[in-house]
Amino acid sequence: MTTLPTWTKGPMAGEQFRQREKPSMKIAQVAPLWINGLSRGTSDAERALFYLTDELVRRGHEVTLFATAESRTSAKLEALCSTPFCRAPENWSQAGAAILAVKQVFGPRADEFDLIHSHFGIDGFPMAQRCPTPTLTTLQERLDLPEYVPVFEQFRDLPLVSTSDAQRAPLAWASWQRTIYPGVPSELYRFNPRPGKYLAFIGSLSMEEGLGAAIEIARRAHLPLRVASRKDSIDELPLSTIPSELLVAGNGVEWLGELTEPAKISFLGGASALVCTQGWPDASGLCVAEALACGTPVVAFHGGQAREMIYDHVTGFACDSLDEMFHVLPLVKDLDRKACRNVFEKRFSVERMADQYVHLYERLIAAASHRRFSASIAQAVQTDRRPMAVTN
């Protein structure tokens, strides 16, 4: 760990200056390999990681990103595979070699870094547990499934970060360090004070994303719905599973498909509200931050990130049912879009997210250093207590 000098004024007598150490860390970011970083169709989890990585680099930290070769980043990129796995079935042939490369990061290469931040999900737990360098794992997946309990019991001492309090609740006894909500760059997402008159829905075409519910609420409210959907070959939802009456031509639903980042910013900023009807306990977090950054209120179901990120009657509404969502939609027009932007800047910017992670990195590194120091002292004391050899 190197240090960057910063100067602060000391006591008034003599106006002394003193140097204060500000650590510049060597950080490894291990990305999931199923989707590209910051490309068209990238998931929320991957985009949050890449925003964080670039912000850490901007602050002067030495960051190495282990990800797909197609990823775009200002950090040092080390490719673990050429293309993301889920874009084509044949890409899974690279999985074995990629996993071996990840094991090298947590093993022989671990001493190159002050901390290894894993976004590899529970698949990275065994590697993190044996790693000699401090690790931190941010989990994006839902954790309310019973099969996760024995897994987390086996790795209950691993330092973890949740992306919402609701996400961690089923496994509250695990080693959660804190909740850190996803953030986006303030300068990238521009405030739009003059929205259009449509509802926005953004998410993958999976059963859990609640697309049918979003279409139903827009139909009942007689409002156009624009749908930006990321096609994901792993969990794509066949349109045949959505009631046919909701998909007929002229029903006010406009299908936009995958959007580039500039197009998505325009799409969210022009909406009167973002509708989050996802049906799982940890969803929608990054798109909520994106919407609020544009000044767009959010109407969501209770539970998960969305509920925790919304201030009722200020930045949107958290609802218990479709009926309640239908009744609050007319109130959206009375919300102050500038208040939405202000909340975003205080709570959900990438700068805020990076502040929280840097503080956590420093704490974990300091704790590991303290453990090593204590172990060396204990070993020295044990050595001193050994009986001296008696010679004639």
Q: Are residues 160 and 222 in the same domain?
A: no
Check which CATH number belongs to the domain holding 247 and give it: 3.40.50.2000
Residue 273 lies in a domain: yes
Give mean pLDDT, residues 240-244: 55
Residue 331 lies in a domain: yes
Q: Are residues 102 and 240 in the same domain?
A: no
Q: Are residues 177 and 47 in the same domain?
A: yes
Q: What's the pLDDT at 82?
A: 73
Domain count, the chain: 2
Q: Sorting pLDDT into bands at 50, 70 and 90, what band is 86?
A: low
Q: Are residues 68 and 154 in the same domain?
A: yes
State how far the Cα of 294 lies from the Cα of 59, in Å rounded to an integer: 25
Q: Are residues 261 and 152 in the same domain?
A: no
More confident residue, 389 or 98: 98
Q: Are residues 211 and 146 in the same domain?
A: no
Domain membership of residue 270 as a residue range: 199-347
* Residue 42, pLDDT above cutoff 50: yes
State how far the Cα of 388 lies from the Cα of 392, in Å rounded to an integer: 13
Residue 391 lies in a domain: no
More confident residue, 316 or 40: 316
State how far the Cα of 349 lies from the Cα of 183, in Å rounded to an integer: 5
Residue 86 lies in a domain: yes
| Rg (alpha carbons) of the chain, rounded to whole number | 24
Q: Are residues 225 and 130 in the same domain?
A: no
Ranges 17-26, 35-44, 95-104: which has the least confidence: 35-44
- Backbone φ and ψ for 19, nearest 5 degrees, come out as -95, 135
Residue 56 lies in a domain: yes
Q: What is the pLDDT of residues 192-219, one digit of tens each?
A: 999 999 999 987 665 556 888 888 999 9
pTM of the model as a whole:
0.85
Q: Are residues 167 and 254 in the same domain?
A: no
Residue 136 lies in a domain: yes
* Other beta carbons less than 10 A from residue 378's beta carbon: 10
- Mean pLDDT, all residues of the chain: 84
Residue 381 lies in a domain: no
Q: Are residues 177 and 270 in the same domain?
A: no
Q: Are residues 119 and 236 in the same domain?
A: no
Percent of the chain with pLDDT over 90: 57
Q: Are residues 110 and 213 in the same domain?
A: no
Q: What's the pLDDT at 203?
A: 78
More confident residue, 244 or 290: 290
Taking the CA of residue 199 as centre, how many other CA atoms within 13 Å lie in the half-sphere pointing to its CB?
Answer: 29
Percent of the chain with pLDDT over 70: 77
Give mean pLDDT, residues 309-327: 94
Ranges 153-167, 175-189, 223-237, 336-350: which has the least confidence: 223-237
Task: Please give, one letter per residue, the 3-state secondary structure of the chain.
Answer: CEEEEEEEECCCHHHCEEEEEEEECEEEEECCCCCCCCCCCCCHHHHHHHHHHHHHHHCCCEEEEEEECCCCCCCEEEEEECCCHHHCHHHHHHHHHHHHHHHHHHCCCHHHCCEEEECCHHHHHHHHHCCCCCEEEECCCCCCCCCHHHHHHHCCCCCEEECCHHHHHHHCCCCEEEECCCCECCCCCCCCCCCCCCEEEEEECCHHHCHHHHHHHHHHHCCCEEEEEECCCCCCCCHHHCCHHHCCCCCCEEEEECCCHHHHHHHHHCCCEEEECCCCCCCCHHHHHHHHHCCCCEEEECCHHHHHHCCECCCEEEECCHHHHHHHHHHHHHCCHHHHHHHHHHHCEHHHHHHHHHHHHHHHHHHHHHHHHHHHHHHHHHHHCCCCCCCC
Residue 383 lies in a domain: no
Ranges 94-98, 212-216, 268-272, 368-372: which has the least confidence: 94-98
Q: Are residues 142 and 70 in the same domain?
A: yes
* Residue 62, pLDDT above cutoff 90: yes
State how far the Cα of 241 lies from the Cα of 248, in Å rounded to an integer: 14
* Residue 90, pLDDT above cutoff 70: no
Give mean pLDDT, residues 19-30: 79
* Residue 115, pLDDT above cutoff 70: yes
